Structure 1
Amino acid sequence: MNPNFSFTIRQETPADFFAVENLTRNAFWNIYRPGCVEHCVLHRYRSRPEFIPELSLVLETASREILAHIMFSQSEIMLDEPSTPPRKSLPIMTFGPFSVRPDKQRQGIGKHLLEYALNRAKEMGAGCIAICGNIQFYGKCGFELAKDRGIRYADDPNAPYFLLKELVPGFLDGARGTYRDPDGYFVCENNVEEFDRLFPYKEKKVLPGQL
């Protein structure tokens, strides 16, 4: 399903930063925890060396209203062989935060932005993308359970939410290993609280289904 309006996908610029962070905050607020941390992760991640600015993309309307955003990062799979140091790694990419404005979700916007971004990542040389997400959504874009390909998530080796997608057929052939989230995905609670004061007040709620 494609959005039923005219839109543009382009690289995020510094002028977009606050609007994109606010979009991210609204999209994740009270979903996985009371409040959220994803807007702070995004804000801090832009200064990290593994951040890929060319793949920090926004989808906007003809009136330049930003409806969705996705951020990509360099990452890696630590291979099982050789078993003694130094172990080899397989360079890949990951993405997130990936946000769609709450009132525009389930309209095909996120899927359209994701498919565009995956094509761009492939053009930039990515052979594989690994993420944590819902297979019911990401399976529609060709993602599969990583454990079925011999790739384990360090925090939960049998995680049903750890997914990957080969962008280059055969890229993972013979590969077995472990994936860890990039360090930049972890933020201090104090940093989150301080950063959150820059945004309009929102009530934090404990809701069913949060992690």
Structure 2
Amino acid sequence: MIVRREVSDDVEAIRAVTAAAFRGVAHSAPPLEPGGDPGEATLVSWLRADAGWIPQLSLVAVEDDVVVGHVVATRAHVADRPALGLGPVSVLPARQRAGVGSALMHAVLGAADALDEALVGLLGEPAFYRRFGFVPARSMGILAPDPSWGDYFQVRPLTHYDGTTGQFAYAAPFDRL
């Protein structure tokens, strides 16, 4: 498996991987049209068209020339300071629990740090994301976009984190879900 930046030829494969990864999952965003793909598949397209898109932080995992996973981080903010919103993270169901998601997480966090980003936020299972250095956001004085998310909204400080606190805001397309 290799992890590399997304290229234009990957767009349809990324949509298919994201749809497969979130189809039937209890916490996924509902389809935006009856019988359509889960909302996360459409979200990636919306993010790609948004000013918050950071091409260096849209990564795919490839095995035998087939995209089996994808992760993206886009521009977010804490108060008025730049941050990153991570997600969705998608892995084909047949390749889940085989290290693909972990490889994508390590790659995107390393790339974000290399780009001098300060902080990454995400909504996800604390038991899973703790291994990547994520902590409940409120423990660092960062407020979730939705207070009901509790400890499921987490942040990971990077090398250039300066202690900024305040309200976290994802890129605008997240508000459309």
TM-score between both structures, scaled by the size of structure 2: 0.89
Displacement of 1:154:
2.9
Amino acid at match of 2:89: F
Q: What 5-or-longer segments of structure 1 have no aligned partner?
A: 1-6, 79-88, 189-211
Matched, 1:44 2:46: yes
Superposition RMSD on alpha carbons, in Å? Answer: 1.6
> Quick one: distance in 2 between partners of 1:94 and 1:181?
6
Farther off after superposition, 147-156 or 157-166: 157-166
Matched, 1:140 2:142: no
- Runs of 4+ in structure 1 deviating by more than 3 angstroms, as ranges, are none
Structure 1 counterpart SS, 2:176: coil
Q: Which residue of 2 aligns with 1:23?
A: 17
Matched, 1:162 2:153: yes
Amino acid at match of 1:37: G
Structure 2 counterpart SS, 1:159: helix
Name the one with the larger helix percent. Answer: 2
> Quick one: distance in 2 between partners of 1:145 and 1:102?
27
**1:115-168: per-residue Cα shift (whole Å, max 9, x none)?**
011001110111110111111010011100110111111311771101001111
**1:19-77: per-residue Cα shift (whole Å, max 9, x none)?**
1101100000121255520111111211111111111110101x211111001101100
> Quick one: distance in 2 between partners of 1:185 and 1:158?
15
Matched, 1:115 2:109: no
Structure 1 counterpart SS, 2:150: coil
Contact 2:120 2:156 in 1 (8 A): yes
> Quick one: distance in 2 between partners of 1:165 and 1:187?
25
> Quick one: distance in 2 between partners of 1:176 and 1:20?
33
> Quick one: distance in 2 between partners of 1:138 and 1:100?
15
Matched, 1:179 2:168: yes
Amino acid at match of 1:97: P
- Computing the radius of gyration over CA atoms, which structure comes out larger, 1 or 2? 1
Amino acid at match of 1:77: V
Contact 1:77 1:90 in 2 (8 A): yes
